[in-house]
Amino acid sequence: MDFLGIIYSILAFVVAIGILVTVHEFGHFWVARKLGVKVLRFSVGFGKPIWIRRSGEDQTEYVIASIPFGGYVKMLDEREGEVAAHELERSFNRKSVWRRIAIVSAGPAFNFLFAILAYYLIFLVGVGGIKPLVGEVSVPSPAYTAGVQQQDLILSVNGIETRSWEKARFTMLEEAVGKDRIVLQVQGRDLQIRDKVIDIRGLDLLQQEQIDLMRDLGLSSWRPDIPPVIAEVLPDGAAEQAGLQAEDRVVALDGIAVENARQWVRLIRENPGNTMKLEVLRNGDALALQLTPRSRTEAGETYGYIGVRNRVDIPESIRREMTVVERYGPVEGMLESLDKTWRMTWLTLRVLGKLVIGEASVRNLSGPITIAHYAGISARIGLEPFLGFLAIISISLGVLNLLPVPMLDGGHLLYYLVEVIKGSPVSEQTEIIGQKIGILLLFCLMSIAIYNDLLRLVE
């Protein structure tokens, strides 16, 4: 990634975290105020304040702090300082346990509400995508064994309608976690509708360092045949060194006839470091060149790379035929956004559960560097992808905060549940021990996530 790309990703990350932290803390703030608790400070970020404003009858401090990895709402509380007699009834610790539960739960709840709203706006405007038409099916593969064929149109996954590849991929991933099979309802080229049962018992998806369900199933999206014509040769690459030029049409590589751009890309990727004979047509003349793809490694995978951009000339009629827009009315859109938020939440919980019991690899954890990278990518693409990215991270933030770990909202809720059962609050000593355990657990979790981020950078 270039310097400008890094800056863009950092800015997108700061904006994303700022929005989501504000949403989370506003949940605590709004419900606390509604339930009669005095709020002393609303802070986005930790550390030294870089902006402060005091407002309202209570002169609440609104703060933007220097470290943008979180935030907090400071409420009047006798455990944190002396409280004037006339304000005792506005102290957080004086409120009933059910009111305290409501205040603490409001932060994660607002994260889920934000995701619902984000998806609702996306579905009202419309989500662009391509039809889930199957391309090449790998041999052997679970999809091939199930009888899935090229140009099958995926209508549903385990009974869930899939109008686009984006929804088909997500639904297949969701349905694959903890299950032995996926049932695809497809419409073949003969227009007949059939069920294809894919056995996934041997995949061990969550043990992989990087999940690529489509590859593991042997599926790919269909693309029209595009001639293997070079659009641009990048400087200082293997292609320039071999003498390739823009508008060259690739004819053969090491004696293998190259029929389309997809095959050309696959052959290059499969031959890192191998010197091969390349045949091209240039202005109608046949030329023989020597090409040695350079090795590149990403996410543990090594592949060939030559530094070219291929020409992409998809006929407009095919482009229109393959394009779909998922758009819903006000009521249907709300139902769809509720369903998507619930399914994403449930998937996150199941994956976390499998991490705890060792059925999922900790390499699947991502930290701030990976999040910043995807924030930058989604922001570059457009508002709709960035909004979808925010919804996913907001759900993750909501789920994470509900975990029964001291220092998180879920840890406080656990204490209040104990208080409801035993009829009195947990002791101050218990809370102190819990905080130490919580800090240690969060430190370990964050260390693993950042370590994974750094490994992805150097691989």
| Residue 355, amino acid | L
Hunting for tokens 């355990």 — which residue is that?
437
Would you put residue 426 in left (φ > 0), alpha (ψ -120 to 50) or beta?
Answer: beta
- CA proximity to 105, closest of 35, 170, 178, 167: 35
| Residue 363, amino acid | R
**Do residues 459 and 297 make contact, with C-beta atoms less than 8 angstroms apart?**
yes
Q: Which of the residues 25, 175, 279, 336 is marked catalytic? A: 25
Measured CA to CA, the distance from residue 258 to residue 144 in angstroms comes to: 24
Q: Look up residue 23 and give its two tokens.
A: 């949403």
Q: Look up residue 396 and give its two tokens.
A: 């993750």
Measured CA to CA, the distance from residue 60 to residue 33 in angstroms comes to: 11
Q: Which residues pair with 160 in a beta bridge?
A: 157
Question: How far is C-alpha 161 from the geometric centre of its chain's CA atoms?
Answer: 21
Instruction: Check if 25 is active-site.
Output: yes
Measured CA to CA, the distance from residue 242 to residue 344 in angstroms comes to: 47
Measured CA to CA, the distance from residue 62 to residue 43 in angstroms comes to: 6
Measured CA to CA, the distance from residue 173 to residue 16 in angstroms comes to: 25
Question: How far is C-alpha 441 from the geometric centre of its chain's CA atoms?
Answer: 23
Measured CA to CA, the distance from residue 306 to residue 291 in angstroms comes to: 8
Q: Look up residue 359 and give its two tokens.
A: 């059925």
SS (H, E, C) 39-103: EEEEEEEEEEEEEEEEECCCCEEEEEEEEEEEEEEEECCHHHCCCCHHHHHHCHHHCCHHHHHHH
Measured CA to CA, the distance from residue 443 to residue 281 in angstroms comes to: 59
Active-site positions read 25
